[in-house]
Chain A
Amino acid sequence: MKAIHNASAVALTIALLAPNASAEGKLSLFHWFEYIPQEMLDRFTAESGIEVTMDTYDSNEAMLATLKAGSMGTYDLSFPGDYMVQIMSDEGMLDTIADGELKNKANIMPEWLEVPYDMGRKSSIPYQWGTTSFSVNRDVYTGDISSTDILFDPPAELAGKINMLDSQGEVLALAAMHLGIPQCTTDRDQLKALDAQLQTSKQHWASFNSDTAKEVLVSGDAAAGMIYNGFSAKGRLEGANIEYAYPDQGVIAWMDNAVLLKDAPNRESALKFMDFLLEPKNIAELTNWAQYSAGVIGADEFLTAELRATPENNKPADSGPAVFVEACSQEVQAVYDKIWTNLKK
């Protein structure tokens, strides 16, 4: 009896100590710039007692480069895009989440559970997803915009007034879709055609810029531009008469994910934060702020009515497919690098 009493006293002590232990818990995020509201982090800290620190990056590649240059073991979570999850996984930079470690894993929508870059979600959870295609200023051009011709073989009104994203992966993927060839093709004729297409299309392009993709459309510097759907919606709300296109050739799908990094210094806190992000209410708060889409069951009901009705977030059923950018093999990537350098030489 005494032994049991002692045991329960120990258990009680542990139970009492546990919140204290987590009160000293830390969480170190490596995140995109401006991609989570500070209030959410504060609320997580208030709820869990875990202190959050965050460094930011401005591209998937920059994040990879920083981690490879010796920052592994510094951060618990980072937020790579789809193809980058695959790359990081191939590089052995991700930790595996065992079954049952995430209590909210069942909240992930089925279509985002089996994704090509992380089948069964062993290391990642959905953060935000959306599409990338292009938007057109309807004051300048009123014709049909349901084809990628708008970017690659534009009508006279738009030629010379087009901004492209300054991102090799997305530009080459959309160009491949425009030509109807597979991504990362090894066929030499197809690769030559891709190179030639970009050379011809370049004369119609005014600039390459990702950070100001929205701003150039709002200011009128560009009359059409490759853009992420959420960016385009923000531009429209800022008063620009721009329409986001879902072309017949298809759109690029992208999904940012929270991944558990190998050698995470605060693995437990990281899992807690992942569970936090999988709560419909929390992820909906984030989605309302970021204006993209969540991949979590039940989040919809917490979204603002505006966001649910946003045309940019609702892909028409008769439009082309949404395709993830693929991570090419080393041989094809070498050719892609050449094509990109040719384009910008």
Chain B
Amino acid sequence: MAGGAASGGKAQTDTYKEARTLLLLPSWLVLGFFVLIPVFMMLIYSFLTKEFRGGVIWEFSLAAYDQFFFDRGLFGDDAPSIEWTYINIFWRSIWQAGAATIFALLIGFPTAYFIATRPPNSRQMWVFLVTIPYWVNLLIRTVSMKFLLRDQGPLNDFLMGIGIVDSPIHIINTDFAVQLGLFYSYLPFMVLPIYAAVERYNFSLSEAAADLYASKWQTLRRVLLPAVKPGVIAGCILVFVPSLGSFLAPDLLGGAKNFMIGSLIEEQFKGNAGNWPFGAAASMILLSLVLIVLMLSARQQNKGEGV
């Protein structure tokens, strides 16, 4: 998945060529049934008329997209102007997910590098240690995080105990708490692909760079990073995409004061709003954004490999 640099070779022979169709059939059926059909249904629902209190009426309507992009006032009869509410909600989610991704990269990259440079027989143990906390349910971990961060929690007790701060730092119910929660939730998704890439990296390249008088920084930037870039990109995508739609961390750690994309969409289906077409439209817009990001990164990667 992440080893683009090392496994970029083209498949010249396909051992299972004759049976290919048959072997792929189950995957196609599963993907088609559980991914393509639901997404296609969402697409259709987003263009239907909303039924009061949930459900749809089978009449074509652009109302959902209109609601997303145009503000017609509290009573819906003002002249339309640009609706910033939902764009802001999307922007907030992107910013939160982006911050979480950067945190995860800053911590994840050195961690992955450290693991990959251990003797081969101890690497498995380090990988195991990274994944252990993730055997626990995400909800439990998020709630535990809340216990740790609260004003009278262990973190603040510790900081006050060693005298760094006089009064508790207020972390819970802030954006920072959400970013921290997302970072913590998805950190292994950053560490593992980067580890896989760094493990395959030929360290004599770093030595060669040092022999040619490259500084350590130059070696990192010009030699190591380009070689492990596919792993880094895969890690970033794997952290960013689920963070974008997440609603556990925003609800539990951020206090649900502001909608995120995930909670906005949830509200359309489970909340009072009961506006399925709008929820579907918001999902389609989110899906389009994610697809654009993925396509851009795929193009970037292809370019990199084409050299």
Contacts and interface: CB of A to CB of B under 8 A. Distances in A.
A219 B53 contact: no
B255 A207 contact: yes
A167 B275 CA distance: 16
B5 to A, nearest CB: 43
20 contacts: A59-B271, A61-B54, A61-B272, A68-B55, A87-B53, A166-B256, A191-B74, A195-B74, A206-B173, A206-B255, A207-B173, A207-B255, A220-B150, A221-B150, A221-B151, A337-B275, A341-B85, A344-B258, A345-B89, A345-B258
B52 interface: yes
B274 A61 contact: yes
A66 B270 CA distance: 9
Main secondary structure on A side of the interface with B: helix
A221 B85 contact: no
Interface of B: 52-55, 74-76, 85, 88-89, 150-152, 172-173, 251-252, 255-259, 269-275
A336 B54 CA distance: 15
Given A61-B274, A87-B53, A342-B85, A221 B259 contact: no
A290 to B, nearest CB: 23
Given A220-B152, A221-B172, A345-B89, A61 B271 contact: yes
A14 interface: no
A253 interface: no
Contact of B270 (A59, A205, A330): A59
Given A59-B271, A209-B251, 10 more contacts: A65-B274, A206-B255, A207-B173, A207-B257, A208-B257, A209-B255, A335-B75, A335-B76, A337-B275, A339-B74
Contacts of B85: 341-342, 345
A212 to B, nearest CB: 8
A340 B76 CA distance: 15
A83 B252 CA distance: 27
Given A87-B53, A338-B74, A62 B270 contact: yes
B75 A188 contact: yes
A91 interface: yes
Contacts of B88: 345
A65 B150 contact: no
B248 to A, nearest CB: 11
A87 B51 CA distance: 13
Contacts of A209: 251-252, 255-256
A192 interface: yes
A213 to B, nearest CB: 12
A40 interface: no
Contacts of A341: 85, 259, 273
Contacts of A310: none
Contacts of B55: 68
A342 to B, nearest CB: 7
A340 B53 contact: no
Given A64-B54, A207-B257, A337 B273 contact: yes
A167 B256 CA distance: 11
Contacts of A205: 257
A257 B257 CA distance: 31
A169 interface: yes
Q: Identify which of B88, B152, B173 gathers the most chain A CB atoms within 10 Å of its CB.
A: B173
A198 to B, nearest CB: 12
Q: Identify which of A205, A221, A330, A333 gathers the most chain B CB atoms within 10 Å of its CB.
A: A221
A334 B274 CA distance: 10
Interface in A317-341: 330, 333-341
A333 B89 CA distance: 22
Nearest to A63: B270
Given A208-B256, A220-B151, A345-B259, A169 B272 contact: yes
Interface string A149-188: 0000000000000010011110000000000000000001
A118 B258 CA distance: 36
Nearest to B72: A338
A145 B151 CA distance: 25
A335 B251 CA distance: 24
Contacts of A192: 74
B251 A340 contact: no
B214 to A, nearest CB: 50
Nearest to A194: B74
A61 B52 contact: no
